[in-house]
Amino acid sequence: MKQKYAEQLLKKTKEGYDKIAEEFSTTREEVWEEMNFLFDDYVIPGDKILDLGCGNGRFFELLEDKDVNYIGVDFSEKLIEIAKKKYPKVKFQVADALDLPFPNNYFDKIYSIAVLHHIPSKELRLQFLKEARRVLKPDGFLILTAWKLKSKKDWNLFLKYTILKLIGKLERGDVFQPWGKKTERYFHLFSEEELMDLAKEVKFKIIKEGIVTNEKGNRRNIYLVVEK
């Protein structure tokens, strides 16, 4: 994918989330219970934690009783506004995941739930991971998830954009998913192997990976725990 087009897609994604922020937030009021273990198993009291792509801030609820120093960032100004209203005593700020406003070796843990699949092009995804690694302390953990194909409908999306992939405009795994008539959201559909290879390319050490699914089976995400 050409760099200019990738940057256009990223801008479109930001504008799209600003446009649907209120509606999107109402669909993300509840914490996904299947994600609980990612917070329970890796957080230590006193940790300095970055929620990278925090949206409306809902995952703070899994950390508020763990005695941590939490900061949530997102590129959507509207979602950050919602997060601040929901949790007025918590630190939230607008920030670009590709150019984080934090010093080197700053955080003990970074959580990035359902974010990386919105980053277009391998080049920008590597930049995302490099920035996360930069602001992590030595031996710090990055815990992330990405959308996993789960149904025939998803495969139809995958096939729909084959022509754009064949002419080189999109990469293999790239799709757009409409949000009603308001916007189309870009997704990159990872395989577990591709996600791990990206992390290794940035010199992360793989600690654990797998698939996490909710009870109904209508949510499937790859999870990856890596160490700096």
pLDDT of residue 223: 97
pLDDT 10s per residue in the chain (228 long)? 889 999 999 999 999 999 999 999 999 998 889 999 999 999 999 999 999 999 999 999 999 999 999 999 999 999 999 999 999 999 999 999 999 999 999 999 999 999 999 999 999 999 999 999 999 999 999 999 998 865 555 556 656 655 455 445 788 888 888 899 999 999 998 999 999 999 999 999 999 999 999 888 788 899 999 999
Query: Is 82 exposed, middle or buried, given 0-12, 13-18 or 19+ CB atoms closer than 10 A?
Result: buried
Helices (H), the chain: 3-26, 36-40, 77-86, 122-135, 152-160, 162-166, 192-201
Query: From the CB of residue 182, how many other CB atoms can be counted at a distance below 10 Å?
Result: 11
Residues 3, 121, 99, 117, CA torsion sign: positive
Domain boundaries, the chain: 16-148+190-227
CATH class of 16-148+190-227: alpha beta
**3-state secondary structure (DSSP) of residue 169:** coil
